[in-house]
Amino acid sequence: MGFTKYTTQADKAQVRMNDSIRAKEVRVIGADGGNVGVLPIKEALALAQSAGLDLIEVSPNAQPPVCRVTDYGKFKYEQKKKDKEVKSKAHVTETKEAQVKIGTSSNDMNIKAEKIGAWLREGHRVKVDLFLWGRYKYMEFNFLKERLERFLAIIPEGFKIAEEIKKSTKGLSVSLERDLSKKPKIVKPLPETAPQEVPQKEESEG
């Protein structure tokens, strides 16, 4: 039975196998996972071919290089699975920041909500600030909190509150994390409206 041939140039660049192995002798791991020992490359190739399998170089920098007798398709599948696990563990999340204002237009609110949804899907934590300035800083906390919660309601992704809404140097802030137990939400974008006005009774405060 012949050896497996490379299917792509990328495969050929990633791993040496069969006739592409350059070492004169290699340490062989058998198909059962046992250590066969150090063999001349011709004997190692003959061993793999007699089993109807491939000889794959798994540790090219070892002295001598380590080769494994196995099916290339199975090896490639296992390698992809391992690479995926490593990539998943190595994924570094960031804390992204978004800022809204009471006077932010509905269109801008919708755009910011979509962006936050994308960040959450990527696995990032998101800190949302309700920026306050001038007289807005002295408005009632519950009134401001309700405005921030209205914005959170249009974020099209399932999330949980990582840090509750609280006062911050910018105004009010809240931190969100993706919640995989919640399905992405189907939300209606806010209709385009004129910027919200502050209630008259609040303007005189502060």
Label the pairing between strands 125-131 and 95-101.
parallel
Domain ranges, ordered by start, for the chain: 9-73, 95-189
Q: Write out pLDDT tens, residues 78-109.
A: 888 887 777 666 555 789 999 999 888 889 99
Please tell me the pTM assigned to this model.
Answer: 0.49
Query: Torsion angle of alpha carbons 110, 113, 118, 123, nearest 10°?
Result: 180
* pLDDT tens-place string over residues 157-166: 999 999 999 9
The Cα angle at residue 42 between residues 36 and 44, in degrees rounded to 5:
20
2-42: pLDDT as tens digits: 466 655 555 556 789 999 999 999 999 999 999 999 999 99
Flag whether pLDDT at 120 surpasses 60.
Answer: yes
Could you confirm whether domain 9-73 is CATH 3.10.20.80?
A: yes
| Domain 95-189 in CATH 3.30.110.10 | yes
Give the total residue count for the chain.
Answer: 206
